[in-house]
């Protein structure tokens, strides 16, 4: 019989429910044995739908269960670091949604707890597991484009999140661009040394009143000498805009948007095609499954997780550097942040 990993979910909100469904229905090596949420009704609803046997509103009740081997942390960001520490101390392997925290001291304490306990920690940067982005990374690593010179990343949401979320999100660079910072490192396997960020409030003045920007450009300088750019908007009226380009000494790679179909109509009025998929849940469905499969496999096979603790820390440093760059209107070296 195939060995199965007993998993508890902490957080039964939108992303917790997605991971729970994938673990329950699409990953045979996973066995979801418990779910916890401070809103017990949310946990109960998810448990009833997916036949999860144990429900609680206290995460400690799952961490003390001897049958729980690993936890998937999908709670609010302000709880991530403390839950990682608690899970590590309980000897549980950990998958945690990004970011670990916005405070580097809290991140470092969490990573130290993981190292001391000798458990595995994977951070939820799901875009690495998108088949097209992964293929682009593989081709770069195989030398298909020679030496990478330029990286361009476009990431635009179909609509901004609620203002109440904006106020506690850490701002665009730590909430939205953090995925792009991770992709910037992942695509060419080189570390970013400095960032220069500019931003504006062009979508909703309430975002500016909350202390954030809704439109941003970030330029990157890599240790390898390559250059990069990231552009973000909180509102793309045509859908969820997710594109990358990596240009090198002997070629280039482009990944375009995914659409519901590939049919293109040409007529007297022009050329017409489907708009991009509308939301991240649709665009990255397969990536969410693949990242969770990778976590389960790394525990069962005793391999390092593909997205480790430092992979979770560095994009936060980049986000903090981008905010400092925006405010001080100058390029910011990551070493100035820590």
Cα angle at 197 between 196 and 199, to 5 degrees?
A: 160
Going by their DSSP bridges, the two strands 227-233 and 241-248 should be labelled as unpaired
Indicate the fold that domain 131-279+315-336 takes in CATH: Dihydrodipicolinate Reductase; domain 2 (3.30.360)
Angle CA(145)–CA(255)–CA(306) in degrees, nearest 5?
80
pLDDT range class, residue 183, cuts 50, 70, 90: very high
Is the pLDDT at 317 greater than 80? The verdict is yes
CA separation for the pair 301, 232 (Å, rounded): 38
Q: How confident is the model at residue 1 (pLDDT cuts 50, 70, 90)?
A: low
* Residue with token string 């361009």: 152
CATH class of segment(s) 5-119: alpha beta
**Distance separating alpha carbons of residues 60 and 336, to the nearest angstrom:** 37
Closest CA to 96 of 289, 309, 284, 318: 309
Question: What's the rounded Cα separation, in Å, for the pair 51 and 103?
Answer: 37
Task: Encode pLDDT of 251-288 as tens digits.
Answer: 999 999 998 988 999 999 999 999 998 877 778 899 99
In the chain, where the domains are located: 5-119, 131-279+315-336
Average pLDDT for the chain: 96
DSSP letter at 122 equals E
Q: Which of 137-141, 188-192, 201-205, 283-287 has the lowest mean pLDDT?
A: 283-287
Q: What are phi and psi for residue 174, nearest 5 degrees?
A: -100, -10
| % of the chain with per-residue pLDDT over 90 | 93
Q: Residue 2: its pLDDT value, please?
A: 74
Helix (H, G, I), strand (E, B) or coil at 331: coil
| pLDDT at residue 312 is higher than 60 | yes
Confidence at 338, pLDDT banded by 50, 70, 90: confident
CB of 121 closer than 8 Å to CB of 170: no
Provide the percentage of residues in the chain whose pLDDT is more than 70: 100
Three-state secondary structure call for residue 243: strand
The reply to whether 5-119 and 131-279+315-336 are identical in fold is no
pLDDT at res. 318: 98
Average pLDDT over residues 68-94: 97
Measured CA to CA, the distance from residue 238 to residue 275 in angstroms comes to 6
3-state helix, strand, coil in the chain (%, to 5): 40, 25, 35
Per residue in 37-68, pLDDT (tens digit) is 999 999 999 999 999 999 999 999 999 999 99
């Amino acid at each position: 019989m195939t060995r199965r990993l007993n998993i508890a979910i902490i957080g039964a909100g939108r992303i917790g429910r997605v991971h729970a469904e994938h673990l329950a229905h699409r990953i045979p090596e996973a066995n979801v044995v418990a779910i916890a949420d401070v809103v017990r009704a949310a946990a109960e609803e998810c448990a009833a739908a997916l036949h999860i046997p144990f429900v609680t509103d206290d995460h400690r009740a799952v961490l003390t269960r001897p049958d729980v081997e690993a936890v998937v942390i999908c709670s609010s960001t302000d709880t991530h670091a403390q839950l990682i520490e608690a899970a590590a101390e309980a000897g549980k392997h950990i998958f945690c949604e990004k970011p670990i925290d916005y405070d580097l001291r809290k991140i470092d304490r969490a990573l130290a707890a993981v190292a001391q306990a000798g458990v595995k920690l994977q951070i939820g940067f799901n875009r690495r597991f998108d088949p097209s982005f992964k293929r682009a990374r593989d081709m770069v690593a195989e030398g298909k484009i020679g030496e990478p010179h330029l990286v361009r990343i476009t990431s635009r949401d179909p609509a901004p999140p609620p203002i109440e979320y904006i106020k506690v999100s850490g701002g665009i660079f730590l909430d939205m661009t953090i995925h792009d910072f991770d992709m910037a490192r992942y695509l060419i396997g080189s570390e970013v040394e400095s960032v220069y960020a500019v931003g504006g409030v062009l979508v909703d003045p309430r975002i500016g009143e909350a202390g954030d920007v809704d439109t941003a450009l970030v330029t990157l300088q890599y240790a390898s000498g390559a250059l990069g750019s990231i552009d973000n908007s909180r509102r793309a009226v045509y859908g969820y805009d997710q594109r990358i380009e990596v240009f090198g000494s002997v070629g280039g790679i482009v990944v375009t948007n995914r659409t519901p179909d590939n049919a293109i109509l040409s007529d007297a009025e022009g050329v017409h095609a489907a708009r991009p998929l509308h939301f991240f849940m649709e665009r990255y469905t397969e990536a969410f499954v693949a990242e969770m499969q990778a976590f389960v496999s790394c525990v069962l096979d005793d391999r390092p997780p593909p997205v480790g603790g430092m992979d979770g820390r560095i994009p936060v440093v980049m986000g903090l550097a981008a905010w400092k760059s925006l405010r001080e209107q100058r390029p910011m070296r990551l070493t100035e942040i820590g």
